[in-house]
């Protein structure tokens, strides 16, 4: 699958250019939701967080119709740039993209040595019996805050305070997300393909996540050979925003062990 991403995608970068590369992949909330991850990783790595095509006003090529195709595009870009041993850090949809990249890389000798490790933070994408992904597209602002945050008041955004420009971006982001992930934000084949992942994998989960529950996260971790699972107390779908210190305490030893 040969997919080319737009060359002008915005990318937030931090850290020494010659340090080990970390590709930080955002979820439906857009690139701002992973900025704390970029800032933290920059202390020891060169962290890059691209805006996915179609988010925040960027163009989405007609070829980007699924997470698998988006993952293929990111793999091709890493290969073109001569990257090696890249750490993939994905949040929500970004976790799904990271796992899909690891699966595709394991199945194609061109990508041997390209991916070094995966950190999946509350990633959607799998279908787990008895643990459905919340119907994100049916949630209003209050419902989203209650599903995604341990403390809903921290995550609630009053629609009355949203500008017309912000609302237009939210709506466009939502249409892009539905087009790429499907309205169920899942791929029925993903769970069964996770056994192909052949790099160290850490699955980090907020204990209060009701978009995808900790039981869902454990099932994903169990499907990846040798994966480690860590639950973050007093955090929901975005533990790096709600409980950053506990999230770093989970991620840092993993990365140090597999550096």
Establish if 48 belongs to a structural domain. Answer: yes
Contacts of 6-11 spanning 24+ positions with Cβ under 8 A: 6/53, 6/58, 6/59, 6/61, 9/50, 9/51, 9/52, 9/53, 9/58, 10/50, 10/51, 10/56, 10/58, 11/48, 11/49, 11/50, 11/51
Q: Tens digits of per-residue pLDDT, 194-245?
A: 999 999 999 999 999 999 999 999 999 999 999 999 999 999 999 999 999 9
Establish if 223 belongs to a structural domain. Answer: yes
CB 232 within 8 A of CB 244: no
Q: Tens digits of per-residue pLDDT, 3-14?
A: 889 889 999 999
Q: Which residues contact 81 (CB under 8 A, 6 or more apart)?
A: none
CB 62 within 8 A of CB 176: no
Rounded Cα gap, residues 214 and 232, in angstroms: 10
Establish if 2 belongs to a structural domain. Answer: no
Residue 103 has pLDDT above 70, yes or no: yes
- What is the number of domains present in the chain? 1
- Residue in this structure with the two tokens 């993993």, named with its chain if needed: 254
Establish if 115 belongs to a structural domain. Answer: yes
DSSP code at position 80:
H
The answer to whether the predicted template modeling score (pTM) of the entire model surpasses 0.85 is yes
Q: Which residues contact 63 (CB under 8 A, 6 or more apart)?
A: 3, 4, 69, 73
Residue 1 has pLDDT above 80, yes or no: no
For residue 158, the model assigns a pLDDT of 87
Please report, for residues 5, 20, 67, 76, 176, the alpha-carbon distance to residue 62 in angstroms, rounded to integers and kept in the order given.
11, 32, 13, 17, 11
For residue 259, the model assigns a pLDDT of 81
Residue 88 has pLDDT above 80, yes or no: yes
What mean pLDDT comes out for the span 90-112? 97
Label the pairing between strands 86-91 and 21-25. Answer: parallel
Establish if 150 belongs to a structural domain. Answer: yes
Structural domain harbouring 25: 11-257
Q: Tens digits of per-residue pLDDT, 14-72?
A: 999 999 999 999 999 999 999 999 999 999 999 999 999 999 999 999 999 999 999 99
Q: Tens digits of per-residue pLDDT, 151-208?
A: 999 999 888 898 999 999 999 999 999 999 998 999 999 999 999 999 999 999 999 9
Establish if 233 belongs to a structural domain. Answer: yes
207-134-186 Cα angle (round to 5): 105
Residue 127: other Cβ atoms inside 10 A: 17
Rounded Cα gap, residues 192 and 188, in angstroms: 8
Establish if 56 belongs to a structural domain. Answer: yes
Establish if 100 belongs to a structural domain. Answer: yes
CATH code of the domain in which 99 resides: 3.40.50.1820
For residue 4, the model assigns a pLDDT of 82
**R_g (Cα) of the chain, nearest Å:** 17
Residue 36: other Cβ atoms inside 10 A: 16
């Amino acid at each position: 699958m040969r997919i080319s991403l737009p060359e002008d995608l915005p990318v937030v970068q931090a850290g020494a250019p010659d340090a080990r590369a970390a590709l930080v992949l955002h979820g439906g909330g857009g690139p701002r939701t992973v900025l704390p991850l970029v800032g933290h990783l920059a202390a020891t790595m060169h962290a890059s967080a691209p805006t996915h095509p179609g988010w925040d006003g960027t163009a989405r090529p007609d070829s980007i119709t699924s997470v698998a195709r988006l993952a293929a595009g990111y793999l091709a870009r890493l290969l073109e740039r001569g990257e090696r041993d890249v750490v993939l850090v994905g949040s929500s949809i970004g976790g799904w993209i990271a796992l899909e990249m690891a699966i595709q890389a394991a199945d194609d000798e061109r990508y041997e040595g390209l991916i070094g490790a995966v950190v999946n933070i509350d990633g959607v994408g799998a279908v787990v019996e008895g643990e459905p992904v919340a119907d994100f597209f049916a949630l209003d602002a209050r419902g989203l805050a209650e599903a995604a945050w341990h403390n809903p008041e921290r995550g609630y955004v009053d629609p009355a305070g949203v500008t017309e420009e912000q609302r237009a971006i939210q709506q466009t982001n939502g249409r892009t997300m539905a087009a790429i992930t499907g309205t169920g934000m899942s791929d029925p084949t993903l769970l069964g393909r996770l056994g192909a992942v052949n790099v160290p994998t850490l699955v980090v989960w907020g204990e209060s996540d009701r978009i995808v529950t900790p039981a869902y996260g454990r099932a994903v971790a169990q499907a990846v050979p040798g994966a480690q699972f860590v639950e973050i107390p007093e955090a929901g779908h975005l533990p790096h925003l709600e409980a950053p210190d506990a999230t770093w305490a989970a991620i840092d030893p993993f990365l140090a062990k597999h550096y």
